[in-house]
Structure 1
Amino acid sequence: MLDAHWEEKHEKAEAVDRSLQVAVSKFTGGISPAALMIAFFDWYFHLLIHPAKQMELYQLYQDNLLHLFNQFMGHLSGDASGEYCIITSPQDKRFTGKRWQEFPYSFYYESFLLVQNWWHVAASKVRGVSRHHEDVVDFTLRQILDMLSPANSVLTNPEIQQAAIEQNGENFLKGLENFLEDIERNLANKPPVGSENFVIGDNIAATPGKVIYRNQLIELIQYSPVTDKVYAEPVLITPAWIMKYYILDLTPKHSLVNYLVKKGHTVFMISWKNPKRKDRNLGMEEYLNLGIMSALDVISCILPRQKIHLVGYCLGGTLASIAAATLARDNDNRLASMTLFAAQTDFTEPGELGLFIDESQITFLESIMQEKGYLDTHQMAGAFQLLRSNDLIWSRLIHDYMLGVRKPLTDLMSWNADATRMPYKMHSEYLRRLFLHNELAEGKFIVANKPIALTDISIPIFVVATERDHVSPWHSVFKINLLTNSDVTFALTSGGHNVGIVSLPSKTTKRHYRISTLKENDRFIDADSWYQNSKVYEGSWWPAFEKWLAKKSGKKIAPPEMGCEKEGYLPLEDAPGSYVLQK
Structure 2
Amino acid sequence: MTVSPNVGTELAPAHSAAQHKPRPLPLFLELLRSETAALPERMEAALAGVKAYQQARRTPRPGPRPAVASAGRARLLDYGGDGPAAVFVPSLINPPHVLDLAEGNSLLRWLSANGVHPYLVDWAAPEAGEAELSVAGHIESLLLPLLDALDRPCHLVGYCLGGTMAIGAAAARTPLSLVTMATPWRFDGFSDEAREGLAELWQNAQPTSAALGAMPMEVLQTAFWKLDPGTTVGKFEMFGRLDPASDKARGFVALEDWANDGPPLTLGAAKELVEELFGNNVTGEARWKVDGRTVDPHALPCPVLDIISASDKIVPEASAARAGEVLTLRQGHVGMVVGGRARATLWEPLAKWLSQVQH
The residue number in structure 2 matching 1:480 is: 322
Residue 288 of structure 2 aligns with an amino acid whose one-letter code is F
1:407-459 per-residue CA deviation (whole Å, 9 max, x = no partner) reads 83423223222222111111101222211111122221133455333343131
Q: In 2, Cα distance between the equivalents of 1:324 and 1:404?
A: 44
The residue number in structure 2 matching 1:495 is: 331
- Change in 2 beyond 3 A, CA 1:395/1:296: closer
Unaligned runs of 5+ in 2: 1-23
Matched, 1:272 2:123: yes
Give 1:265 shift.
1.5
SS in 2 for 1:340: strand
Give 1:470 shift.
1.6
1:461-498 per-residue CA deviation (whole Å, 9 max, x = no partner) reads 11111232122112321x424xxxxxx22112222110
Q: How does 1:301-316 map to 2 (within 5 A)?
A: 303=152, 307-316=153-162
SS in 1 for 2:149: helix
Q: Which has the larger radius of gyration?
A: 1
The residue number in structure 1 matching 2:286 is: 443
Contact 2:126 2:263 in 1 (8 A): yes
The residue number in structure 2 matching 1:320 is: 166
1:316-348 per-residue CA deviation (whole Å, 9 max, x = no partner) reads 000011111233xxxxx4x11000010011111
Give 1:547 shift.
1.2
The residue number in structure 1 matching 2:7 is: none
Higher relative contact order (CA 8 A, sep 6+): 2
- Change in 2 beyond 3 A, CA 1:264/1:395: closer
Matched, 1:375 2:183: no
From 140, 143, 149, the counterpart of 1:289: 140
- Change in 2 beyond 3 A, CA 1:293/1:395: closer
SS in 2 for 1:253: coil
Give 1:258 shift.
1.0
The residue number in structure 1 matching 2:90 is: 239
Q: Which moved more, 1:449-458 or 1:318-327?
A: 449-458
SS in 1 for 2:331: strand
- Change in 2 beyond 3 A, CA 1:273/1:439: same
The residue number in structure 2 matching 1:65 is: none
Matched, 1:549 2:341: no
The residue number in structure 2 matching 1:198 is: 59
Contact 2:159 2:181 in 1 (8 A): yes
**TM score, norm. by length of structure 2:** 0.78
Q: In 1, Cα distance between the equivalents of 2:148 and 2:271?
A: 28
The residue number in structure 2 matching 1:251 is: 102
Percent identity, aligned pairs only?
19
Q: In 2, Cα distance between the equivalents of 1:398 and 1:314?
A: 26
Contact 1:357 1:436 in 2 (8 A): no
SS in 1 for 2:189: coil
Q: In 2, Cα distance between the equivalents of 1:317 and 1:257?
A: 16
Q: In 1, Cα distance between the equivalents of 2:38 and 2:234?
A: 9
Give 1:236 shift.
0.6
Matched, 1:344 2:184: yes
1:373-409 per-residue CA deviation (whole Å, 9 max, x = no partner) reads 2121332322222223223235536975xx8997834
SS in 1 for 2:188: coil
The residue number in structure 2 matching 1:98 is: none
From 215, 228, 231, the counterpart of 2:71: 215
Q: How does 1:11-410 map to 2 (within 5 A)?
A: 146-150=35-39, 153-154=40-41, 175=48, 192-194=54-56, 196-199=57-60, 204-206=61-63, 209-225=65-81, 230-231=82-83, 233-275=84-126, 278-300=129-151, 303=152, 307-327=153-173, 333=174, 335-351=175-191, 353-358=194-199, 361-393=201-233, 396=236, 400=240, 408-410=249-251
Residue 251 of structure 1 aligns with an amino acid whose one-letter code is A
Unaligned runs of 5+ in 1: 1-25, 30-141, 161-170, 183-190, 328-332, 482-487, 504-508, 513-537, 555-583
**TM score, norm. by length of structure 1:** 0.50
Aligned-residue CA RMSD (Å)? 3.5
